[in-house]
Amino acid sequence: MAPYLTITMTSSSLLRLPTDILILILHQLLLVEDLSALSKTSRFFYALVNEFGWAGYQRNNPRPSMCLAKSRAAWTAKDSVKYDVLADKFWSQFEFIARPLAPPWTGKEQPILAINPSRLVVAAGTSIYSYTFGISSKDEAPPIVLEGSCSLTAHRDRRSYITALTFIPDGGLDQTLCVGFQDGTFERILLAGRSKRQANAATLRVHRSAVQPLHLPNKDLLESLSSSRNMLLSLSASGRATLADIDTPPSPSSSSSVDLGTRSWVSHLVMQSTSPYAAFGTSSATPLTIHSITNDRLTPLPSAILGQAESVRMGSAVYGICQGPPSSLWGSSPEVVVSGWYNGTVSIHDLRSSSRGCASDSSSPAPLRPVLTLVNSWSVEPIYSVSSGGGGGSYIAAGWARHSLVSLWDVRSPAGGFSVHAPGNDPSPVYSLILESSRLFGVTQTRPFVLDFVRAPSTTPTLINSYSDSQGPGITANTYPDLGFSSRGFTHFNQKGADGFGYYVTTYLHRSSRTYIDS
């Protein structure tokens, strides 16, 4: 990170500098306080900071967030930075609003989440539920609206259950999903909005088409789908991985496959790296492997094996994989891989690192050591899901196998962190997580939920507010779908606060959390 810039010149002497030099200086101001103070020195600097300063700060401090994408396009750069400053403050204070996003399902499901700049989609059993992201004013958090739901089959046949889900590119429409089913079949699904004839029932219209060449042989269970740019990666339970070009008509020649030869759980595709790769989580002696991608084809043998810290008991399976947080010691690089293990640890690997352990045999590469390992000493359960983002763009979230528990660590101070039980405290795994800049979306066997780190609209001036601009964005009654508090499944919920926006959840700090940093 560049050193903080110290300005010793007076405002009048700065004004004598050419504007392009002043813009370069603005881009070196790393603190919100510096930009805010400079904007108050004169009308000229107020206009210059508003036009160039806040936008430069935003570029230097990315907060990737799908659910905010549309609102950020409508906000000024200053409004966007203000939102991030407030969210970062609440993250640092462990303050959030917890909400279910829907009434509970009738059965126990193994749901999945998928997100793009327009929608959050939840797949549970044979049904999909679509939530759209609205555009808000600068004083309100962007709303999330239930677009509708539909069942993809008339009968709840377990072989028709949705087991994998991902959005795929469709020219910016944000309407196209690739869905995999337990019987090994694939479908391309176009979300077409609500049915006009059944608007009150919020019935979702979809157009479905089978993707025959990708179907798995012998009705092998489809376990995972991952997409990146124009490529789609599928993984079956038996370990068959297939990489296909989305833009090419499906055919055996337009895809490549490898057989991992072991029980497999999760895949992670990265095409934006200078060296594209696919990461696979399995149950085996080498649970986390990297396969390089050359000319859009998977290499048959792993190019890297990712191990665990020597002081940690080796895990036997990896259930969750994601990219590292956008702001960290390792930079915002697709070469950073976060994984959740059966032994209850989160490992962070930097594929650019040269620190390796001992190879088990001469035919396999030496395992790459993690640069950081996170452990919540209060929980010994397996980790089912991981995601990264959050406050400062530096958090990692892990969903555990029991008690609807989510743990969060800030990689800038990994010995701390906190854990929270999802609303309702279901005796369930957290099957899927998506961590955004101010929101954490998750799903248990019973319902989807959100933790929102921007609370009710704030009247407390922030660092970048002027006296005439004191209100900050926050949650209102229109931010989330109405839950119907008196309906079935919510009688045991306790609303938190007089505004009724949030619900009480159990939270605790990781006072005895352990970390292992590779030396």
**Per-residue pLDDT at 363:** 63
**Per-residue pLDDT at 31:** 82
pLDDT higher than threshold 70 for residue 490: no
**Per-residue pLDDT at 218:** 73
Same domain, 383 and 282: yes
pLDDT higher than threshold 90 for residue 461: no
**Per-residue pLDDT at 513:** 53
Same domain, 182 and 267: yes
Q: Dig out the tokens for 96 from the structure.
A: 């959030």
Higher pLDDT, 249 or 308: 308
The neighbour count for residue 478, using CB atoms within 10 Å, is 14
Same domain, 32 and 179: no
Question: Would 304 be classed as within a structural domain?
Answer: yes
Question: Would 327 be classed as within a structural domain?
Answer: yes
Q: From CA 343, how far away is CA 353, in angstroms rounded?
A: 24
Question: Would 74 be classed as within a structural domain?
Answer: no
pLDDT higher than threshold 90 for residue 454: no
pLDDT higher than threshold 50 for residue 138: yes
pLDDT band at 475 (very low <50, low <70, confident <90, very high): confident
Higher pLDDT, 370 or 45: 370
pLDDT band at 464 (very low <50, low <70, confident <90, very high): low
Question: Would 132 be classed as within a structural domain?
Answer: yes
Same domain, 175 and 263: yes
- The residue whose two tokens read 């800038």 is 412
The neighbour count for residue 59, using CB atoms within 10 Å, is 10
Question: Would 497 be classed as within a structural domain?
Answer: no
Q: From CA 299, how far away is CA 297, in angstroms rounded?
A: 6
Question: Would 422 be classed as within a structural domain?
Answer: yes
Question: Would 480 be classed as within a structural domain?
Answer: no
Q: How do residues 321-362 score in pLDDT, each as one tens digit?
A: 999 999 888 888 999 999 999 999 999 999 998 887 666 666
pLDDT band at 39 (very low <50, low <70, confident <90, very high): confident
Question: Would 466 be classed as within a structural domain?
Answer: no
Q: How do residues 221-239 score in pLDDT, each as one tens digit?
A: 899 999 999 999 999 999 9
The helices-and-strands tally (H runs, E runs) of the chain is 7, 33
Q: From CA 462, how far away is CA 266, in angstroms rounded?
A: 42
Backbone torsions φ then ψ of 217, nearest 5 degrees: -75, 155
Determine the structural domain holding residue 434 and report its residue range: 109-460+507-517
Q: Dig out the tokens for 503 from the structure.
A: 């619900």
Question: Do residues 87 and 391 touch, judged by C-beta distance below 8 A?
Answer: yes
Q: From CA 329, how far away is CA 369, in angstroms rounded?
A: 16
Q: From CA 223, how far away is CA 250, in angstroms rounded?
A: 20
Nearest by Cα to 395 from 380, 420, 417, 378: 417
Q: Report the DSSP beta bridge partners of residue 441.
A: 434, 450
pLDDT higher than threshold 80 for residue 96: yes
**Per-residue pLDDT at 465:** 53
Same domain, 304 and 451: yes
The number of folded domains in the chain is: 2
Q: Dig out the tokens for 34 from the structure.
A: 């510096």
Same domain, 315 and 425: yes
Question: Do residues 275 and 329 touch, judged by C-beta distance below 8 A?
Answer: no
Average pLDDT over residues 179-207: 82
Q: From CA 187, how far away is CA 160, in angstroms rounded?
A: 12
Same domain, 55 and 113: no
Q: From CA 358, how far away is CA 146, in angstroms rounded?
A: 51
Question: Do residues 315 and 305 touch, judged by C-beta distance below 8 A?
Answer: no
pLDDT higher than threshold 50 for residue 6: no
Average pLDDT over all residues of the chain:
85
The neighbour count for residue 10, using CB atoms within 10 Å, is 9
CB under 8 Å to 456, separation ≥6 — which residues? 474, 475, 476, 499, 501
Nearest by Cα to 305 from 268, 357, 266: 357
Q: From CA 320, how far away is CA 6, in angstroms rounded?
A: 43
Q: What is the CATH classification number for the domain harbouring 137?
A: 2.130.10.10
Domain end call among 43, 60, 77: 60
Same domain, 331 and 393: yes
Same domain, 16 and 159: no
Q: How do residues 252-269 score in pLDDT, each as one tens digit?
A: 667 899 999 999 999 999
Average pLDDT over residues 72-89: 90
Pick from 124-128, 160-164, 265-269, 377-381: least confident: 377-381
Q: What is the dihedral of CA 41, 47, 49, 55, to 10 degrees?
A: 170
Q: From CA 474, how far away is CA 457, in angstroms rounded?
A: 4
**Per-residue pLDDT at 462:** 55
**Per-residue pLDDT at 32:** 87
pLDDT higher than threshold 70 for residue 24: yes
Q: To 5 degrees, how large is the angle CA 383–CA 416–CA 496? A: 80
Nearest by Cα to 189 from 203, 207, 173, 211: 207
pLDDT higher than threshold 60 for residue 106: yes
Same domain, 405 and 319: yes
pLDDT band at 35 (very low <50, low <70, confident <90, very high): confident
Same domain, 366 and 424: yes
Same domain, 44 and 119: no
Question: Do residues 49 and 35 touch, judged by C-beta distance below 8 A?
Answer: yes
CA distances from 400 to 146, 381, 384, 478 (A): 27, 6, 6, 31
Higher pLDDT, 22 or 412: 412
Average pLDDT over residues 42-48: 87
Q: How do residues 168-181 score in pLDDT, each as one tens digit?
A: 999 999 999 999 99
Average pLDDT over residues 491-499: 52
pLDDT band at 487 (very low <50, low <70, confident <90, very high): very low
Average pLDDT over residues 399-427: 92
- The residue whose two tokens read 């990219």 is 323
Domain end call among 39, 60, 81: 60
